[in-house]
Structure formats: structure tokens, C-alpha cells
Structure 1
Amino acid sequence: MKNEIVEMTIKEAIKERHMVRKYTDKAIPSDLVQLLDARLEETNKANDLNIKLITGKSDGLSSIAKLLLAKGVNNYIVLAGPDRADLDEKLGYYGADIMLYAQTLGLNSWWVGGMFNPNGAKSNLENKSVRINGIIAIGYGQTNGVQHKMKTADQISSYEGETPRWFAEGVEALLYAPTALNKMAFTVKGSGNKVSITCDSGHFSGIDLGIGKYHFEVGAGRDNFEWI
């Protein structure tokens, strides 16, 4: 029997997804694995990436993460690709896509930035020359998590003139984005249909910027503005 998929859009998933570090032993059904693999295959081909779903293993987590934070993590997504200047931003952007897509399938997730095991994760990849910058734990959480503390729109954004609805909705979606140490170090500026975004969160700035861009685009609608 097919697994019952929760009907949810990516935009709805932004508000429903929360960090979950503890999981049940329920395996991800094969039909959902196929859906996730198909989305990743399309993403990888279009963007020269090597993002991969690993099931039935926890070797992508560091020993400290397993000991102190995580419980029952038996599936994860490796965030990897050929090393280049924009790799981190790409991994952030498309990592956010697969994480939120997983939420629409009724799965929980945890973006693991600083406490992953690159050697363990790389052992599951055919191409060993790629660079890995994080993993996403995925599965059925013991709980659905709780909303992280959020900044306000005024703290991270500004718009020249009267703020259009699409910009406000983009910023709202951005406020739900997972970021390193929950810093939410975004600065978003808008004028007309032009939008700029920066992120100053140290080592994770590229990843966080990609995540932020994806969230903003989903909230604002990609056809309503241009990045500058």
C-alpha cells in the first residue's frame, strides 16, 4: 500500500518545518525515497551538484552529535558538489528545496552544519573529489519540533517607498529560514522590483545565503522581482 502523503505546498511547509533532532525507528517508505531521489537527480543534473539521500545509516553525523544531540538519526542527505566559488550558496539553496519538499511528504528534518562527519558522509558517494559542507538529517521525528526564536521584518529588511505585498511575504518566509546558530544575519533591501540580500554568518554565510534566497523566492514569488 502506498504511503499516505500529506498534501502541503512548499510555501506552507516553510511554516510547518522545525528542527527535529530525535527520530523514531520508522523507515522512510520506498515510494517516498523514490520521490526524494527523483528530485535530487533533477537538481544535480541541472546544477552540477552531488546531493544524495542516504538511508539506513548515521555515519554522516559526528560522534559528538550522536552523543549529545541526536537520537535515532538513520537517514540523511549529503550536501556536496565540485568545489567552486558558488558551491556553498548552491548547496544552501537546493538543500532548502529538498528539506522543504521532504516536509510536504510528511518527513521531519535537521540541517546539520557544524557537527557532521565528512569522511563518513563521503564514503557513501561515488565521486570522492567533491566537497561536502553539511548534511540534512531526515525521517519521522519523535515530535514535530518547535518554532525557533524569530527576528522581526524591520530588523532584517527595508524597502524604498511603500512596501509591496510580495516583498513583505518574501521577508516573512525568510524569517522562518534555518540559519547557523539561529543568527538570522540577513539584510534584505528592496526598490521597485529589485532586491538585494546579504548574509554575514561567518563560515556558514554561503550556505545561509542560499537558504535565505530560496525562502524569500518562495514567499515573494520568483516572477515578482529580480535579484541584484
Structure 2
Amino acid sequence: MEYEKLATELIKERKSTRTFDTNDIDKDTLKRLNDYIAEVNNETTKIKARFIIISNKDSNITGKTSEKLGTYGVISGANLFIVGILDKDDKRALEFGYWFEKIILFATDIGLKTCWLGGTFNKSNFEQKSNLLENEFIPIISPVGIKKEKSRVLEVTMRALVGANKRKAWSELFFNEDMSLPLTETSAGKYNIPLEMVRLGPSASNKQPWRVIKEKGLYHFFLCRTKGYGVVDFDMQKNDLGIAKCHFELATKELGLDGNWDIIEGITVPNDWEYVYTWISKE
């Protein structure tokens, strides 16, 4: 098992946290997180990506919180950040999101809180602290630590504005044969749990851009872009599909559902969706 808890439990448990206790993570827990990140870095050979942890504290003996790492007031009290680094020539945001979510779920597994951040941080400050190579940039970061017992009013307000606790209904996300017929939890059979884990996934501004069409033993994943939600240096919504892929795959492994990912030529793409990949069930 990749985690001590069930992956499906971790996916349900994980919630974005923006207000952190300023106390440090204990050394053993931090070592476990660093060790896992090192394992991920060894696995990400297909993309030019790496992940590190950086501190928001001065290196001097006082241990005072540094002001160098800015999140524009979105995050409070965090001492540590998981930083995702990608080569500027590598556009595979989907795989990047897949691996980052594995780290997020591991942090959840060892009792830590996180929050995906793709735009609300001072990139130049984080880049300086991360010692980037010449052709690298930082598309995503996440604070990591212990949640403060009482959330700030700003955090509560932000969650309400993006509808952080709301998820689209099955009938809006999953379909049977084509998009005219919604896929129900009953008709999904053994795959109702993996699909539910997709539905529960975090996404940029909670846009939930994933769509799935079941065609016999095939599960075709599509990206339904939000109009006006542009792609600048990094495709955040492709990143979201990477999170969906991670959740679906972890759930199928947990349930013992055999299958594999592939990209199939000639898939009919509804409306203005974008075809991304297919899970081929061997059940």
C-alpha cells in the first residue's frame, strides 16, 4: 500500500487549509515527507519535474519568520512549502499534477495540511529561495503544516466564494456511451468509487473540468475547459486532469480493479471538450 490509510479515505479527508499553526512540524514527520518526495523525484523520469520543501524561516539562530515568501495574505502561519518545479520546455501539466497530488495525499496521510496554490504567491521570491536552474520555473506550490485551530475570517470567506465544499453532480460529470445519457452510480458498478474519487478532487478555482464517458470497458477522460480561464505559462486545467488521473488510479488499485491507461486514436470528442486519456478495464 502506498499510504498507511486507504487512498479513498485520504481523498475524502484532504481539505485546503490556509491558516496554519506557526509551530514547526516535528523532525520525524518532516523526514518522512522529504523521503517520500525523494521517491517521487526518482519516479518522475518521463517529465522534467522535481519537488522540494523550502522554509519560510530565516537561516539564522533566531528562527524568526521571514517575509521573503509571499502569498498575498492567502496563507497565514505556514513555515514550510512544497514547491513543484518544472522545466520551461516541458508542457506536461497533466503528469505534473498527477505527481504533486501523490505528495499532497502522502502529507495528508501523515497528519499534515496543505493547499494547492497556482497563482496567489510571489513567484520571484519562491524562485530565489528554490535555487532554480536556468530553464526551470515554479507552476504550483503548497504550504504544509498543522492547521490552526481557529480559521481566519478570510479563509472562511475564500472557501465560500469558490464553493470549496461543493462538487458537481454525477449527471454533470459522468456519461454512458455518449454525453446524452448520464452515468449513474448504479450503472457504474465496480467503478462507482474510482469515479466518485475523481468527483471529489481539488481543482483550480473549483472549476472541476473533468468529464468521463464510459464505453463498455473503456473510461474516456475529457477536459471541459472553462471559458475565459486562460493558459499562460502553465495549463492549470490539464493539471486538474492529472489530479483526476491520480485519484482514479489509486482507487482502482485499492479495489483490485485491473486496467491500464492509454491514448486511443479516433475518439469522438463532444462539443468543445478535449480528449485526454482512456482507462482500459481488464475486468
- Post-superposition offset of 1:124: 3.1
CA RMSD in angstroms comes to: 2.5
Higher helix share: 1
Give distance in 1, aligned partners of 2:132 and 2:122.
17
Secondary structure of the 2:115 match is strand
Q: Say if 2:90 is the partner of 1:90.
A: no
Give distance in 2, aligned partners of 1:80 and 1:192.
38
Of 135, 139, 147, which residue of structure 2 is paired with 1:133? Answer: 139
- Post-superposition offset of 1:22: 0.2
Higher relative contact order (CA 8 A, sep 6+): 1
**Structure 1's 192 and 226: CA in aligned 2 closer, same or farther, altered over 3 A?**
farther
Q: Work out which of the two has the higher radius of gyration on C-alpha atoms and give 1 or 2.
A: 2
1:213 alignment partner AA: K
Give distance in 1, aligned partners of 2:12 and 2:150.
12
* Structure-1 residue corresponding to 2:247: 215
Task: Give structure 1 stretches of 5+ with no counterpart.
Answer: 1-5
2:191 alignment partner AA: F
Moved more, 180-189 or 116-125: 116-125
* Structure-2 residue corresponding to 1:224: 258
Q: Say if 2:194 is the partner of 1:170.
A: yes
**Structure 1's 182 and 56: CA in aligned 2 closer, same or farther, altered over 3 A?**
same
Task: Give structure 2 stretches of 5+ with no counterpart.
Answer: 58-66, 152-158, 178-182, 262-277, 279-283
Aligned residues: 219
1:92 alignment partner AA: G
- Post-superposition offset of 1:125: 2.8
Alignment check: 8 A CA contact 2:44 2:50 kept: no
* Structure-2 residue corresponding to 1:3: none
* TM-score, with length taken from structure 2: 0.69
Give distance in 2, aligned partners of 1:168 and 1:8.
20
In percent, how many aligned pairs have the same letter? 23
Pairs within 5 Å for 1:180-191: 180-191=204-215
Secondary structure of the 2:129 match is coil
**Structure 1's 60 and 166: CA in aligned 2 closer, same or farther, altered over 3 A?**
farther
Moved more, 19-28 or 52-61: 52-61
